[in-house]
Amino acid sequence: MLLDWYRQLIHRTMHGPKFQAISRHRRLAARGPCFHRLLLESLEARLTPAVHTWIGQGTVPNWSSPFNWSGGVPAGDAAAQLVFANTNWNGGFNDIGGLAVNRMEFVTRTGVGSSWYISGNAITMRGNTTITVDDDHSNFLNEVSIHLTLDQEVFCIGMGCYFDHVFNVPSNTTLGIDGQITGNPFFNGVHKTGMGLLELQNNANDYGGGRKSIPAN
């Protein structure tokens, strides 16, 4: 009888929660400290364009003037987005050297002399780029004239390269480019969308063709 009671006591003690916790602690201590390996996964690098809106509040129409932009002067950006809104100056003069642009958008101007006209230093169009002429469906024809060089540049990251240069010219709009379009002809073509008129007016264009008018498509 006494022997059976002793056996039951030993069984309850060894299988009780307190004993189990002590036993687990001793097993972990015998294994040594536990370490977790931290794994760092590299994220894909991307161009993050900053938006700069032309407001034309400066005393001169130079692009380097901070009074002409909302969002700051675009100098130094890896790939800026330029938006030209309805302002006093009609687009101004690019006096910034080495400016890289991802996108340009021209909003319809109203009133006398409502066309856009930009000139000055060359602009680098880097990677997949877009030049858009907006159509607000008003009675005003949105006309844009670009009198500076567009250097169409390939942007490569990892195993991919990007060089789709889109000129979006909807109906009731005209985009004229008499500045030279430069870049590798194999990569830097002209991809026109929209029902408006695109006029490429420079004989020395490197995109694979000289002067041409591209009507509605």
Residue 42, pLDDT score? 33
Q: Residue 76 has which token pair?
A: 């130094």
Inside any domain, residue 11 = no
pLDDT at residue 4 above 90?
no
168-to-68, 191, 196 alpha-carbon distances in Å: 25, 8, 8
Inside any domain, residue 4 = no
Q: What is the tally of helices (H) and strands (E) in the chain?
A: 2, 17
Inside any domain, residue 28 = no
Residue 36, pLDDT score? 45
Q: What is the pLDDT of residues 176-216, one digit of tens each?
A: 998 988 887 777 677 889 998 899 888 888 765 556 666 65
Place of tokens 């958008």: 105
121-to-88, 116, 150, 193 alpha-carbon distances in Å: 21, 17, 9, 26
Planar angle of CA 172, 140, 128, nearest 5 degrees:
50
pLDDT at residue 41 above 50?
no
Report which of residues 87 and 212 the model is more confident about. Answer: 87
Q: How far apart are CA 1 and CA 37, in angstroms?
A: 55
Inside any domain, residue 58 = yes
Query: Poorest-confidence range of 14-18, 142-146, 151-155?
Result: 14-18
Report which of residues 154 and 16 the model is more confident about. Answer: 154
Domain that holds residue 58: 51-214
Mean pLDDT calculated for residue range 78-91? 86
Residue 85, pLDDT score? 84
Inside any domain, residue 5 = no
Q: How far apart are CA 202 and CA 145, in angstroms?
A: 13
Residue 82, pLDDT score? 96
Q: How far apart are CA 126 and CA 200, in angstroms?
A: 19
pLDDT at residue 91 above 80?
yes
Inside any domain, residue 42 = no
With pLDDT > 70 as the criterion, what percentage of the chain qualifies?
66
Residue 65 pLDDT class (50, 70, 90 cuts): very high
Rounded mean pLDDT of the chain? Answer: 77
Inside any domain, residue 110 = yes
Specify the number of domains making up the chain. Answer: 1
Report which of residues 7 and 188 the model is more confident about. Answer: 188
Mean pLDDT calculated for residue range 117-138? 86
